[in-house]
Amino acid sequence: MPTPQSGITPDANSDAQFLVLTIKENSDSSLSQIRQTLSAIPKLTQTLVDQYPDARLSSTISIGSNAWDQLYPDSKPLALRPFIAVKDGDREAPSTAGDLLLHTRSNRKDVNYILMSQVLRQLGNIVQVQEDVSGFRYLDSRDLTGFVDGTENPEGDNRATVALVGEEDSAFAGGSYIHTQRYVHHLKEWEQCPLKDQETIIGRTKADNIEFSSEEKAPVAHIKRVNLKDEHGKSMEILRHSMPYGDSKESGLFFIAYGRTPKHFNLMLKAMVKADSEGHYDHLMNFSTPVTGCAFFAPSIEFLKETQ
């Protein structure tokens, strides 16, 4: 299999930088400059890895559907499409602007910053920053709601199986479909919610992270809504690298999912937002609002080099 980008399958780090860009100039020279910069990112990353080995730096650069058509018009991943917005009544998961995503993560925020700065310097004025979010590990890998996050992530070799395209699209094997959403948490309202109600909404205990049994889970529980199975009874999985973010004005979760197919994420999001025939939806949506939504594809390192 071609070489996946370094940021896809490794375990979580303490810090991450999420940089969403749009392309301002699409002249041939500008697009060529972008391709050259994207192809250089794995090497830039490795240079910093060698300089700061304890940081455990890794990175992923990925491209949105519309930008892909401009940058790489000769071939395209089979399932790459723009982010599919979902709406049901007052609940909405919007689709927002995003042509490129640089996901940088390590155990040192300064090293993340160095890589991000190098990439932006090479891209110059031909791109515009849409989002620049610093994610951090909160306590023992908890979301700001106080619940442990990422418990359902695949482990070991299964991470690659879940996240990486295989021979079903051989031209893009080793790549990964990425979906991002920035959620704004309504923490004041959440903290006023009784503990028992919080645990019902999540589907786990808060302190010791014990999942409720199937019989105990409410039909509106977050875990109940997103734990889906395909027509063969196999669990639909994604590899999450989400991280909390926040300052004095706003805080929440920068959600990011890697997958072999976009199908799993799209069905999970639909199950969260849209009410079923009995009116059940994910009640966590009552306390957290998605304000962005983007879809990308992270090609293999070989693809980036060969198409520069």
| Helix 109-123 / helix 28-51 crossing angle, nearest 10 deg | 160
Residue 59 in contact with residue 45, Cβ under 8 Å? yes
Query: Beta partners for 244?
Result: 253
Q: Is 99 part of the annotated catalytic residue set?
A: no
Residue with tokens 């973010």: 245
Residues 132, 294: Cα–Cα separation, whole Å = 14
* Annotated catalytic residue within 15, 143, 149, 282: 149
User: For the range 81-85, what are the long-range contacts, defined as Cβ-Cβ under 8 Å and sequence gap of 24 or more?
Assistant: 81/262, 81/295, 82/295, 83/179, 83/293, 83/294, 83/295, 84/266, 84/269, 84/295, 85/293
**Distance of alpha carbon 270 from alpha carbon 262, whole angstroms:** 12
* Positions marked active-site: 149
